[in-house]
A = this chain, B = another copy of it.
Amino acid sequence: MPLATRPRAVVLDVNETLSDLAPLGPAFEEEGAPAHLAPLWFASVLRDGFGLSLAGAPRPFVEVAAGALRPLLAAAGVEDLDGAGQRVLDALGTLPVRADVPEGLQALAAAGLRVVTLTNGAVATTDALLRRGAARPHVDLLLSVEDAGAWKPDRRAYEHAARATRLAPQDLLLVAVHPWDVDGAARAGLRTAWLDRAGTPYPSHATLPDLVARDLLDLAGQLA
């Protein structure tokens, strides 16, 4: 493996890294809005959440998710904004895990690594997601930036993970599908792995990851 020393813990992003956002498209369609609003919504939530952190006023993920949803639904001509908004939020809160997650987390734990999650969302949402996917027993510790004072990719979010695990940043391997998360973690001194499930180019403005893996099983194999 290309890392000089072995990490002691993997710190996994949650939204889209562990969860499968595919059901969000049909959730929009059921409200009479186009399915392609789902990725726009998710990007808008991160845009606004990062913006609030950048302005020094981070807010809980679900609040930003609700706030960013209504203008999109309204622009799509949805009339029952309260009802439709709640149903789409319910879909966000009941997403399945990706297919590689249960076995992948088990393999990471079996390789002797501590398995930790670090989400811009809520710990309870991560907990419910992992339980739905029968993957909760493989995770040691669930963390949220709500205890860090800023959303990822602010370095304080990653330092929170180091504090909570009592490990040095360089002993942590941040694992995410999102280049902005890889970038922020690298700048905070963590080592990084990018999950390239989609096979798309890595953007040139983000710090390159130390490892690239197709999925969590591939990553566990590289770390074993």
Contacts and interface: CB of A to CB of B under 8 A. Distances in A.
Interface of A: 34, 36, 39-40, 43-44, 46-48, 50-57, 59, 63-64, 66-68, 70-71, 74-75, 81, 150-151, 153-155, 179-180, 183-184, 187-188, 198-206
Which secondary structure characterizes the binding site on chain A? helix
Contact of A40 (B39, B48, B51, B198): B39
A34 to B, nearest CB: 7
A96 to B, nearest CB: 21
Contacts of A154: 54-55
A170 B187 CA distance: 35
Nearest to A34: B36
A150 B54 contact: yes
7 contacts: A40-B43, A51-B180, A54-B54, A54-B153, A55-B183, A57-B183, A75-B198
Nearest to A39: B40
A37 to B, nearest CB: 8
B187 A63 contact: no
Contacts of A202: 71
B153 A70 contact: no
A67 B203 contact: yes
Contacts of A150: 54
Contact of A54 (B34, B36, B184): B184
Contacts of A67: 203-206
Among A39, A63, A81, find the residue whose CB has the most chain B CB atoms closer than 10 A.
A39
Contacts of A53: 54
B64 A184 contact: no
